[in-house]
Amino acid sequence: MKRLFPAFCALFAVTSGAAADGYRFDNVHSQVQFRVDHLGFTLSEGEFHDLRGGFRFDRNDWSKSSCDVQISIASLDLDDDDAWNRKLLAADWFDVAAYPEMRFRCLQVLQHDAEHGRIDGELTLRGVTRAVALDLRFNRAAIHKYSLKYTAGFTATTTIRRSDFGMPGHSRDR
């Protein structure tokens, strides 16, 4: 299994309001979540709260879809200890001072069935860009009951190796 400090799993539960040129991310209902393998003893969970960007989704031809997501590294939250957050934001991990954001840019979307597909793209983290594939699930698209806006929801997951992005230290990467 590939890991980011040691394990990173991005979960996008994207609920979006329609925009003229596609969709934009709704920070209230969108999450970028991750799990950290704590040296094999346990898994800690965290989240990045601030993401920007948007996507185009063609329900009839997923290959015409695209996305671009910028995630603020400073919005990292392990929800347990501020000292651990500060450690991960420091120079030997995310180095938020030098690299304030990570970016995922979609290169292609492949459809497997009516609800599932794959997003092939590039993740840039700490100034390093690598190819990353996300498993994609189309949750639903409809007029939202409360906002009365056309809304679409997706879940995408991946696992990356943090050492591929220049994050050494305390890794069980092989």
Domain of residue 112, CATH code: 2.40.128.110
Which pair of tokens denotes residue 38? 């704590």
**Residue 25: predicted pLDDT:** 86
Residue 69 lies in a domain: yes
Q: Whole-model pTM?
A: 0.83
Range of the domain at 61: 8-165
Using a 10 angstrom Cβ sphere, with 0-12 exposed, 13-18 middle and 19 or more buried, the burial of residue 146 is exposed
Residue 174 lies in a domain: no
Residues of the chain with pLDDT under 50: 1-20, 174
Q: Structural domain tally of the chain?
A: 1
Residue 172 lies in a domain: no
Residue 128 lies in a domain: yes
Residue 1 lies in a domain: no
**Residue 136: predicted pLDDT:** 96
